[in-house]
Amino acid sequence: MRICVAGALGKMGRRILEVSGWEEDIQVCGAFDLPQFAGRVISYGGEKSTPKEISLGSDAKTEIQKADVLIDFTQPSSSLQHAELAYQLKKGIVIGTTGLSAEQEQTLKQYAKEIPIVYAPNMSVGVNLLFRLVKEVSECLGLDYNVEIVEIHHNQKKDSPSGTALRLAKEVADGLNLNLQTQAVYGREGVIGPRKKDEIGVLAVRGGDVVGEHTVYFIGHGERIQLTHIAHNRDNFARGAIRAARYAYANKPSLYDMMNVLGFR
């Protein structure tokens, strides 16, 4: 399978290139970043395999045309531009960018009528298992336990709370049959009174170089249950993205997420 990597000089782009170099069935045919970096040669795959090299292209459309699937971890407006190009070229696309608006997500749904799109806030296998567990625990415990979600990320992360935390909150809301739009509380300040029974608390912490940590607390009387996922590096996200690319390549046009990729639905 031939892939193209958008944002190839970014934290995730570099890891996707590196991990791709370890996979025998993956060929990196295209890569690009900001125009001023066109022509820069990137070496990848050398940590565990024979080093390979690719030169960054100057034109996104030309680079995408070379591949079967585009993998994009950039930023919302760029991801939508790249998705439009993939749509025009009839190429599959994997999007791991967080912070997309409801309107942007609706645009992806329209593109997915013609091309396969895997769109997920977190490509980690472990995190997606956490999504499933959180919903099941919420269904089991009900409103007898207060639910609070805490996420920690590095100090350069732009969006808050993380897309993963928002997805966790949605799984909790679905498990409790609540409306997330009305029940979510994003941080607390001042004299706000007692906590409501059906609140879903979400707190974002930023600092240092933390790759990602998410904990969902189910707090009852006399006990507390914690479900936590800690990412030690970005390779698990890169492996998930490559797995998602294989899925997009093998499936018909539709909008998928990692639950589909992992066979959870």
Q: Which residues are catalytic?
A: 153, 157
CA-to-CA distance for 208 and 188, rounded, in angstroms?
23
- What amino acid occupies position 196? K
CA distances from 174 to 134, 167, 181 (A): 10, 10, 12
Cα distance between residue 64 and residue 252, in whole Å: 19
Residues contacting residue 61 through CB under 8 Å, at least 6 positions apart:
85, 88, 89
Cβ atoms of 185 and 201 within 8 Å: the answer is yes
**Residue closest to 241 by CA, chosen among 80, 115, 69, 34:** 69
Place of tokens 């396969």: 116
Please give the helix or strand (H or E) that residue 103 lies within, else none: helix 102-111
